[in-house]
């Protein structure tokens, strides 16, 4: 019997992905339904709904759930959830869709799901702005003193995404018909929650940590993972393989870099390299909670949360993504509460005086002795062709990344922020 943490929501893994004869029948039915084009974000959400990554969700949220998630971190039934999972359509499309009807959800000619539309509700500009303030507003210098609405509509990708949503949300359960390109393009890396759970059980793991990545692993990431290896049974290095913002390094390059690092610097039996099919929402602390929520479904009970987890620019405080775990509601009911707990790690860096990796909790020296490590700083140095300081990353990994950047025809300017540069230390 598995000793892993139970999936979130108390209903086991809730998987909407169809197979076999049931899949073929639904595909035939979908051909006769109204087809609605969906966003990349919705595509990733559908796949997570399909494979059980978003358990206990069965589909896109109704208005009461959307409001509760934004306002109190809880759906209408009291189940914890930190970020809205919604499907937006145009007013024209919504006019042709009756509540109680079924539609097909399509992306680039592929039918990803069918949906029973149980509710449709308007999202006014005021509603979108309210969602942004609840989900994306932080405590960093770009969020306070009235700066948020001055800067976020042009500089915060999560806010830009919500403000650009269409006028109506559709809600209701889905039947997922496709996992897209992930099973073929990321074979062996794209793993479903049932698969990671089976792997953990096979290895005898019961106490598992996850390291969230959207950048290649540098020495700080490596240090965080090894801290977790020391105190847990094993670590899931879990990379986002959905869409990122311009200038971020693509998933295949990052996955290969992680493989190089694991092969050379980890005990292979204690770590698993895997990917998940979501787009980044860039929701800072709220996204840290989302990362913990769906990692619980993958069998993880500890979420590594370091400096500026899922941060954007300087919209969030350096450790706001840690502090938010102390403020979320609890009911005392394990079937409704978040069971995946944060592993809160202080700011980490290489210290020449300590002659090794250290943190603000362990290093007594000043920052002149420290190599400040961040994914943004690494991407900027690589993009600019600048020299990368000693002890920033492993040479084998850096050589791999340099090949990627040398083959780029167009480069995106990487914006530095205080958290990445070390100015905030």
Helix (H) or strand (E) holding 163: helix 157-163
- The active-site residue out of 41, 197, 214, 281 is 214
CATH 3.40.50.620 location in the chain: 190-421
Interval 261-275 mean pLDDT = 96
DSSP-assigned letter for residue 168: E
- For 263, list phi and psi in degrees, rounded to 5: -60, -35
Span 74-130, pLDDT tens digits: 999 999 999 999 999 999 999 999 999 999 999 999 999 999 999 999 999 999 999
Span 286-310, pLDDT tens digits: 999 999 999 999 999 999 999 889 8
Q: How confident is the model at residue 412 (pLDDT cuts 50, 70, 90)?
A: low
pTM score: 0.93
214 is catalytic: yes
CATH 3.10.400.10 location in the chain: 20-123+165-178
- The active-site residue out of 41, 169, 197, 215 is 215
Please name the fold of domain 20-123+165-178: Sulfate adenylyltransferase (3.10.400)
Contacts of 325 (CB under 8 A, 6+ apart): 288, 289, 292, 305, 341, 342, 344
DSSP per residue, 118-157: -EEEE--HHHHHHHHHHHT--SSTTTTTTTHHHHHHHH-H
9 and 56 Cβ atoms separated by less than 8 Å: yes
Of residues 422, 415, 264, the one with CA closest to residue 349: 422
More confident residue, 382 or 116: 116
Distance between CA atoms of 400 and 380, rounded to whole angstroms?
Answer: 16
307 is catalytic: no
pLDDT at position 361 is 93
Distance between CA atoms of 34 and 359, rounded to whole angstroms?
Answer: 55
pLDDT at position 425 is 55
Strand 356-359: give its sheet, edge to edge.
Answer: 356-359, 348-351, 370-372
Into which CATH architecture does domain 190-421 fall? 3-Layer(aba) Sandwich (3.40)
pLDDT at position 208 is 98
Interval 326-348 mean pLDDT = 97
Average pLDDT, the chain: 93
């Amino acid at each position: 019997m598995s000793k892993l943490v139970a999936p979130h929501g108390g209903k086991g893994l809730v998987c909407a992905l169809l197979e076999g004869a049931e899949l073929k029948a639904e595909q035939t039915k979908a051909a006769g339904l109204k087809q609605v084009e969906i966003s990349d974000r919705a595509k990733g959400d559908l796949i997570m709904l399909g494979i059980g990554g978003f358990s206990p969700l069965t589909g896109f949220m109704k208005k009461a759930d959307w409001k509760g998630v934004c306002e109190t971190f809880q759906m209408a039934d009291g189940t914890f959830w930190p970020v809205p999972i919604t499907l937006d359509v145009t007013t024209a499309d919504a006019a042709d869709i009756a509540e109680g009807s079924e539609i097909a959800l399509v992306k680039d000619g592929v039918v990803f799901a069918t949906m029973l539309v149980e509710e449709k509700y308007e999202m006014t500009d005021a509603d979108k702005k309210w969602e942004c303030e609840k989900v994306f507003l932080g405590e960093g210098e770009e969020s306070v003193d009235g700066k948020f609405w001055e800067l976020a509509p042009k500089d915060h990708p999560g806010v830009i995404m919500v403000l650009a949503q269409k006028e109506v949300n559709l809600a209701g359960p889905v039947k997922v018909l496709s996992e897209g390109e992930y099973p073929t393009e990321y074979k062996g890396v794209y793993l479903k929650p049932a698969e990671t759970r089976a792997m953990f059980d096979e290895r005898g793991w019961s106490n598992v940590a996850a390291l969230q990545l959207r950048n290649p692993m540098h020495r700080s990431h490596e240090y965080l993972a090894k801290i977790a290896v020391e105190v847990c049974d094993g670590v899931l290095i879990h990379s986002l393989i959905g869409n990122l913002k311009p200038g971020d390094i693509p998933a295949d390059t990052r996955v290969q870099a992680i493989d190089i690092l694991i092969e050379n610097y980890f005990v292979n039996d204690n770590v698993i390299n895997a990917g998940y099919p979501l787009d980044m929402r860039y929701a800072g602390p709220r996204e840290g909670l989302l990362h913990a929520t769906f990692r619980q479904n993958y069998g993880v009970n500890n979420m590594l949360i370091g400096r500026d987890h899922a941060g954007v620019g300087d919209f969030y405080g350096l450790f706001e993504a840690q502090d938010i775990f102390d403020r979320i509601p609890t009911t005392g009911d394990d079937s409704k509460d978040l069971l995946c707990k944060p592993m809160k790690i202080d700011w980490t860096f290489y210290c020449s005086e300590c002659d090794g990796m250290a943190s603000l909790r362990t290093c007594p020296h000043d920052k002149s002795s420290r190599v400040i490590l961040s994914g943004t700083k690494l991407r900027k140095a690589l993009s600019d062709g600048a020299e990368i300081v000693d002890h920033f990353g492993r040479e084998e990994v850096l050589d791999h990344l340099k090949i990627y950047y040398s083959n780029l025809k167009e480069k995106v300017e990487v914006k530095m922020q205080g958290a990445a540069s070390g100015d905030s230390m």
